[in-house]
Amino acid sequence: MKTSIGKQLFVNLVLMLLVLWLGVIFAVAWVIRYETNEVFDSSLQETAQRILPLAVMQLSPDRNEIFLEHSEHDEYLSYQVIGAKGELLIRSGGAPKAAYRVPLAKGFYNINNQVFYVEPSSDKRMFVVIAESPGHRTSTLKDALMYLGLPLIVLIPFTGLVVWWSVRNAQRSITKLGRELSSRNSYDLHPLSTVDLPKELLALGESINSLMLRLKHALESERNFATNSAHELRTPIAAAMAQIDVLKDDLAGEHLRRAQDAKKMLSRLESMTVKLLQLARAEAGVALNLEPVNLVTVANVVFQEYKFNDVHAIRLVSDSKDVYVLGDIDAIGIVVQNLLENAYKYATQDAEIFLKIDAGGTLEIVNDCVAVPVEMLGAIRQRFGRADQSKSGSGIGLAIVDTIVAQCHGKFEIETPCLPNNRGFKAIVRFKKV
């Protein structure tokens, strides 16, 4: 499954912001912890140093234990003055009656989540032990972290929303460009509109346009080459065939047969060449420039070409004088020509050929013949696929029709049998009505 740039960008940005926030919280926590330790330690130290001289002066020679009476209050700091042998000499209201079990040497001690500071007298006979209430520092840090982290519950979804909205907005141009490109068929080489493109996509849009322009020129050259080649080939073949027509009048028997064969071969050469060039033009996108085309006019022009044949009567029926469809006049001409030629070639001797156009832009060409087996329907639309090998033909007529109709955004269908007694062939082209 393909990932979406927008989704990826959204997830990455939100995760990044979350990690950043958490990083900041941990850094702040570390600083707070460091600073509070410094402050608390200093206050423990200061308190001890302040109490020690007072204790020394106050203590009587019998050095009995003194309990200092105070009213009840929250004591974050408590203290004891302990003798050299560990006996309790003085204690504050919040301090326990037993001496703190701390080493009697100057310094800080953390015992069971409680911080102590021990300050000895200069003669080491007395020690002042200052104790913080248990977990005081931890709860201070916890409170600080909680007040720092609490806004995250609101900030994270809000940031996500802002990121989603910004990504979606920034992505709009990319989505529009992608949609415009994907809505085109493979022959649509019109330049993209770059007016609304942001600076970052402008270069891409202009590069695509330049590529399409080069491709369009290449295809145009290919089409023109095919058109001009057809023209250049036809004139000498026409001269050769006309000379044979004249020669035939002076010949008889075997010589006449040979002249007729030569003309037939020339005619086949011309037909095959023209078909191959038509296919080349179709594949180079003969219907690149789609515009409204009067289907009736095109059908009528092709119909005129066949009206002097003495093999099949051809009937052109149209619902209206003007039926405009989307296409290219020459490309639609090639479609009608190939379908009519196909009908003409495969129709039963003396059978009528019907060319029908309805107001919805559908062209039907119907002829009587043996029905084409269903399993061959796919093959006859392929290049060089023929239903009846005994008939002369290039076998690429329907492939040309298929290619051009797709370029015109139309549909090409075949119905066989389409007449009573399991007979007939109907080619249906549904053009896009304008």
Chain positions contacting another protein, by CB under 8 A: 227, 230-232, 234-243, 245-246, 249, 266-267, 270, 274, 297-298, 301-302, 304-305, 308, 329-330, 332-333, 337
The smaller minimum CB distance to another protein, of residues 192 and 241, is found at 241
Between 80 and 338, name the residue whose CB sits nearer to another protein: 338
Question: What tokens does 279 get?
Answer: 């296919």
Q: Which two tokens stand for residue 275?
A: 């078909």
Give the HSE-up count for residue 148: Cα atoms under 13 Å, Cβ half-sphere.
18
Q: Tell me the closest approach of the beta carbon of residue 307 to another protein, in angstroms.
A: 9
Shortest distance, CB of residue 207 to another protein, whole angstroms?
A: 34
Query: Closest CB to another protein among 29 and 276?
Result: 276
- 3-state DSSP helix/strand/coil % of the chain, to nearest 5: 55, 15, 30
CA distance 72 to 3: 67
Q: Is the dihedral of CA 374, 379, 384, 389 positive or negative?
A: negative
Query: Is omega for the bond preceding 103 within 30 degrees of 0, making it cis?
Result: no
- Residue 141 or residue 241: which is nearer to another protein going by CB? 241
Output the six-digit token pair for 342: 């196909």
Nearest CB to another protein, comparing residues 104 and 251: 251
- For the bound state, the minimum distance from the C-beta of residue 243 to another protein, rounded and expressed in Å, comes to 5
Cα 94 vs. chain centroid, distance in angstroms? 71
Q: Cα(48)–Cα(42) distance, rounded to whole angstroms?
A: 10
Write the single-letter amino acid at 55: A
Q: Given the complex with another protein, which of 118 and 226 has the nearer CB atom? A: 226
Is residue 117 within 8 Å of residue 130, measured between CB atoms? yes
Q: Which is nearer to another protein, 48 or 355 (CB)?
A: 355
Q: How far apart are CA 293 and CA 299, in angstroms?
A: 11
Minimum Å gap between C-beta 361 and another protein is 17
Specify which residues 411 forms β-bridges with.
430
- Give the shortest CB-237-to-another protein separation in angstroms: 5
Phi, psi angle pair for 2, to nearest 5°: -75, 140
Angle between helices 199-248 and 253-283 (to 10 degrees): 170
Q: What CA–CA distance (Å, rounded) separates 352 from 366?
A: 9
Q: Residue 329 Cβ, how far from another protein at the closest point, in Å?
A: 5
Closer of 77 and 331 to another protein (Cβ): 331
Q: Smallest distance from the beta carbon of 292 to another protein, in angstroms?
A: 14
Maximum distance among all Cα pairs of the chain, rounded to whole angstroms: 163
CA distance 12 to 415: 56
Nearer to another protein, 80 or 278 (CB): 278
Task: With CA atoms as reference, report the closest residue to 324 among 289, 299, 288.
Answer: 299
- Token pair recorded at residue 207: 């590069």
